[in-house]
Amino acid sequence: MSGPFADLGRILMVGCGNMGGAMLRRWLDQGLDPAQVTVISPSGRAVPGGVAVINAYDPAAVGTVSTLLLAMKPQQLSAVHAAGLASVRAELLVSILAGVDSATLSSLWPGATVIRAMPNLPVAIGKGVVALHSPAEIDDRARRVAAWMQPLGLVEWIESEGLFDLVTALAGSGPSFTYRFIEALAAAGTALGLPSDQSARLATATVEGAGLLAAEAAETPAVLADQVASPGGSTRAGLNVLDNDAALVSLLTRTLQASENRNREMAAAARA
């Protein structure tokens, strides 16, 4: 096999819910051989086709693992480790757990190369973000992880682990905040008189188009905003509400701060 999935060897994926499932589906769409993966999923929730699923770790069923991918909740880390996974000697340990720091992961799986990955939900369509952090120098193993994540969307290395909780808030949680914005735009339209289904369609398509243009255009979002807002026109009247006392920036700063703080709390709980 060649491409982004070469050299990963056997992958053991722990948990395959909303986020892990989205990643796995995209990888399979992009050519990952389902026979390369085993999923541990006590919930019994279906995983993408052809991938072996087991309820609990069974060394005989799994065989030699090269890559261990942690995709359950941070709160499940110690239970997962205690339930036999401590004995897995993978060369690569990739964790998408919010908060949980690389020192905690290294202490649980000494000897493995630890990489933290923070994906977001649009990886399902190859338009996600995957932030990566390596506590050690970025070597060939780390580059292998980056290549593996490439089919999911934009891959960015975050040098300082101290910024990872903030990156998690901005990019990992960001789609959720954006969906709230779409809902709020639609709800505002409805409150002012539009039929709710029509307002929802208009809000979703507007955010889709604006996002795609922002991603493709040479201009910054600030310039694009000005291109919509004619001087003295109606958009400017609306922007004045968002910009007054930096209302939107202030709201989003508090939003990211709350998420970042919660990531820190989850990291502390995982260290305990």
Ligand X SMILES: O=C(O)[C@@H]1CCC=N1
Q: Is 84 in the site for ligand NAI (CB under 6 A)?
A: no
To the question of whether residue 71 is assigned a binding role by annotation, the answer is yes
Partner in contact with 67, chosen from ligand NAI, ligand X, none, beta carbon below 5 to 8 Å by kind: none
Return the closest-CA partner of residue 74 out of 40, 105, 107, 29: 105
Decide if residue 173 touches ligand X (CB under 6 A). yes
42: contact with ligand NAI by CB under 6 A: yes
* 37 neighbors 11 (Cβ within 8 angstroms): yes
- Which one among 32, 37, 41, 129 touches ligand NAI, defined by CB under 6 A? 41
Looking up tokens 């910024």 gives 163
Q: How close are the terminal C-alpha atoms of the chain, in Å?
A: 41
Candidate list 95, 104, 168, 199; residue touching ligand X; CB under 6 A: 168
Select the residue interacting with ligand X from 15, 21, 172, 189 (CB under 6 A): 172
Binding window for ligand NAI (CB under 6 A); candidates: 92-100, 156-164, 192-200, 248-256: 92-100
- Closer residue to ligand X (CB): 228 or 268: 268
User: Which contiguous run of DSSP H or E holds residue 216?
Assistant: helix 196-216
Does residue 127 contact residue 153 with C-beta atoms inside 8 Å?
A: yes
21 near ligand X, rule: CB under 6 A: no
- How many whole angstroms separate alpha carbon 40 and alpha carbon 57? 7
Residue 72 labeled ligand binder: yes
Please tell me whether 127 is known to bind a ligand. Answer: no
Q: Which is nearer to ligand X, 77 or 88 (CB)?
A: 77
Q: Say which residue the tokens 């190369």 belong to.
A: 113
Distance CA 200, CA 183 (A): 7
- Residues 160-179, interacting with ligand NAI (CB under 6 A): 172
Contacts with 169 (C-beta within 8 Å, 6 or more apart), sequence order: 255, 256, 257, 259, 260, 263
At residue 31, φ and ψ (nearest 5 deg) are 110, 5
Residue 94 pairs with which residues in a beta bridge?
69, 115
Instruction: Supply the Cα-derived Rg of the chain in whole angstroms.
Output: 21
The residue at minimum Cβ distance from ligand X is 172
Q: Which is nearer to ligand NAI, 55 or 230 (CB)?
A: 55
Q: How far apart are CA 74 and CA 78, in angstroms?
A: 9
Q: Binding-site residue total for ligand X (CB under 6 A)?
A: 4
Q: Which of 8, 11, 19, 32 binds ligand NAI (CB under 6 A)?
A: 19
Residues that bind ligand X (CB under 6 A): 98, 168, 172-173
Annotated binding site for NADP(+): 71-74
Residues that bind ligand NAI (CB under 6 A): 14-20, 40-43, 45, 71-74, 76, 79-80, 96-98, 118-121, 172
